Structure 1
Amino acid sequence: MSRIRIGQGIDFHQLVEGRDFWLGGVLVPHHKGALGHSDADVLLHAVCDAMLGALALGDIGVHFPDTDNTYKNIDSKILLARCAQLIGEKGYQVVNIDSTLCLQAPKIKPYVPQMQAIIAGILRVTVEDVSIKATTTEQMGFVGREEGVMAYATVLLEKMAQ
């Protein structure tokens, strides 16, 4: 395997009433939350998939299947830490992350620094190594109608020095 590896992840979740809205490890106040087997943190799931994909290790569904009740309502920060452990076992570490959240509401700018700090802490990188951007879809499609949320993430991995 090469010394540098790049991975791309994407995730989608339906938005529904009566669920907490977790994004980037932060509970974001909103009248809807993401529906899923876990806490449905779309951003952390996209980052996990990007990390796993960089090393051709499959995706989070392979490692944490929604058919396994062990992962029912699990905190996605635990999944992110386990993905970090998996890439560490292969001799790699995260260099940086670039991610984009697609959602119509709520505005997440006030929560981004906390999200960056949480992700950086779990992955043992600096806050400056974690980019989180957000965009709306200009009220188009399922995101624009607030029926769902999606996230993209790109992760650069580097082989650790022996």
Structure 2
Amino acid sequence: MTIPGIKIGSGYDVHRLVPDRKLIIGGVNIEFHLGLEGHSDADVLIHAVCDAVLGAAGLGDIGDHFPDTDQKYKGISSMTLLEICSAKLNKAGYEISNMDCIVFAQVPRISPYKKKMEANIARVLNMDSNLVNVKATTTEKLGFVGKEQGIAAQCTLLAISKTKIVK
């Protein structure tokens, strides 16, 4: 059964932890001795949000719109990419109702930054920050996250049509 005017978007991303890079997650610069490897600023959380936004609009994924082979995206702020994704969702006639995100990181501790991440995402998406939820968890030392080799993020969101459905 299809419910007109409601779409779900889901996004997931992962980046390797490396030396000599800033660690930016959710638009927050986190003091840490390692950063995330990537073509842009490698903001793993915002990349997951971008994929969820694009998915809700039925517009593919972040790699389709911002390929890492294109030098114009080299070092770009992922918040800028999110602004573009948001505009694409709006052009498709949808707005975000709410979102739930998870950051998977053994290190560093993410909890002190969650509210600022929520506020950053909400600001770019022009929505109330209480509609954006960011959670953080470790993987109990299991897998690449648990071995402190990388950080992953996931986002699920609900998008609703900006036009009224008339029966």
Asked if Structure 1 and Structure 2 have the same fold, meaning a TM-score greater than 0.5 normalized by the shorter chain, the answer is yes
Residue 71 (structure 1) aligns with: 73
In 2, distance between residues paired with 1:19 and 1:25?
Answer: 15
Matches within 5 A, 1:82-161: 82-161=84-163
Bigger radius of gyration: 2
Aligned length: 162
4+ long deviations beyond 6 Å: none
Normalised by the length of structure 2, the TM-score is 0.94
Residue 11 (structure 2) aligns with: 9
Letter in 1 for 2:90: G
Say which of 24, 29, 43 aligns to 2:26: 24
In 2, distance between residues paired with 1:24 and 1:87?
Answer: 19
In 1, distance between residues paired with 2:28 and 2:125?
Answer: 16
SS in 2 for 1:143: helix
In 1, distance between residues paired with 2:18 and 2:87?
Answer: 32
Q: CA deviation at 1:126?
A: 0.7
In 2, distance between residues paired with 1:118 and 1:55?
Answer: 21
Structure 2 gap ranges (5+)? none
Matches within 5 A, 1:43-62: 43-62=45-64
Letter in 1 for 2:122: A
Among all aligned residue pairs of Structure 1 and Structure 2, give the percentage whose two residues are the same amino acid: 49
SS in 2 for 1:78: helix
Letter in 2 for 1:71: Y
Say which of 40, 43, 48 aligns to 1:41: 43
Compute the RMSD of aligned alpha carbons.
1.1
Structure 1 gap ranges (5+)? none
